[in-house]
């Protein structure tokens, strides 16, 4: 198999604020955290993969398609903490040369699963931290819950601001969250929707080999995504209703 000739760009504390073309060179290890290599080919288009996950599958796909990619995930270390203003300043500079940006925004404090009672007797689900009325955090949050919501808000607001900026530079982007996530109710997200600059595309994760029929929403400014075939799974619904073995 021919190795992909695209590149993933590392960013370290030391080179944040540079143009992303400096830094140590290392080789990607298959299946490992994909925070690797430096850009030797600045003419290749650049995609930014925000909250890429440790295996960075989107990054890998874009590299195979001859792009450069910048995977970002807190799991890669402190220098990937996008709630940190110093990290944000460095990324802000690197994002200027992006052609395409994707963000899998953290939904762990925004999911409505927190409001569903546990089916396991005696097991308590973590309490909700937000609501439709208070999408930026319930009043009265304390301690680690309060801190977690504040950190999540900082990260999310940074990402949305950068996507807005990227759109104003005619760059394409998409961001993703569960369809019923309270993320979509945050004031910035509502303003962005009301601007008319963005489109929503819904899909069920099992149509893309996810294990569950998780209903996801992509908000984007990519015309081609609107042309995707429907990815709503009727099989799961049929199975759930017991009308198919």
User: Interface with Zn ion by CB under 5 A: which residues?
Assistant: 206, 213, 233, 235-236
CB 126, min distance to Zn ion, A: 27
CB 125, min distance to Zn ion, A: 24
**How far apart are the C-alpha atoms of 127 and 186, rounded to whole Å?**
19
Nearer to Zn ion among residue 27 and residue 241 (C-beta): 241
Nearer to Zn ion among residue 138 and residue 236 (C-beta): 236
Nearer to Zn ion among residue 113 and residue 206 (C-beta): 206
φ/ψ region of 174 (left if φ > 0, alpha if ψ in -120 to 50, else beta) reads: beta
Max Cα-Cα span within the chain: 59
- CB-based contacts of 114, cutoff 8 Å, min separation 6: 125, 126, 127, 128, 129
CB 236, min distance to Zn ion, A: 3
Nearer to Zn ion among residue 68 and residue 204 (C-beta): 204
CB 212, min distance to Zn ion, A: 8
CB 108, min distance to Zn ion, A: 23
The alpha carbon of residue 118 and the mean position of all alpha carbons in its chain are separated, in whole angstroms, by 27
Task: Give the CA distances from residue 4 to residues 1, 63, 66, 67, 167, in Å, rounded to whole numbers and listed in that order.
Answer: 9, 6, 7, 9, 28
Token digits of residue 157: 């607001």
Nearer to Zn ion among residue 117 and residue 242 (C-beta): 242
> Do residues 68 and 47 touch, judged by C-beta distance below 8 A?
yes
Nearer to Zn ion among residue 206 and residue 225 (C-beta): 206
> Do residues 51 and 72 touch, judged by C-beta distance below 8 A?
yes
CB 110, min distance to Zn ion, A: 23
């Amino acid at each position: 198999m021919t190795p992909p000739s695209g590149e993933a760009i590392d960013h370290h504390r030391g080179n944040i604020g540079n143009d992303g073309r400096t830094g140590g060179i290392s080789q990607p290890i298959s299946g490992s955290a994909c925070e690797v290599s430096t850009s030797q080919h600045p003419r290749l288009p650049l995609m930014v993969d925000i909250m890429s996950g440790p295996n960075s599958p989107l990054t890998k796909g874009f590299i195979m398609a001859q792009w450069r990619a910048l995977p970002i995930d807190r799991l890669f270390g402190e220098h990937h903490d996008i709630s940190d203003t110093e990290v944000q300043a460095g990324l802000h500079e690197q994002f200027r040369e992006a052609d395409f940006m994707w963000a899998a925004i953290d939904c762990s404090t925004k999911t409505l699963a927190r409001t569903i009672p546990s089916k396991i007797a005696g097991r308590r689900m973590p309490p909700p931290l937000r609501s439709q009325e208070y999408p930026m955090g319930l009043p009265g949050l304390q301690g680690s819950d309060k801190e977690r919501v504040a950190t999540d808000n900082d990260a999310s607001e940074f990402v949305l601001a950068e996507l807005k900026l990227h759109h104003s530079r005619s760059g394409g982007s998409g961001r993703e969250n569960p369809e019923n996530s309270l993320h979509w109710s945050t004031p910035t997200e509502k303003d962005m929707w009301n601007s008319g600059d963005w489109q929503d595309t819904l899909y069920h994760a099992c149509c893309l080999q996810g294990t569950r029929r998780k209903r996801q929403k992509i908000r984007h400014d990519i015309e081609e995504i609107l042309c995707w075939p429907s990815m709503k799974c009727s099989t799961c619904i049929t199975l759930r209703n017991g009308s198919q073995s």
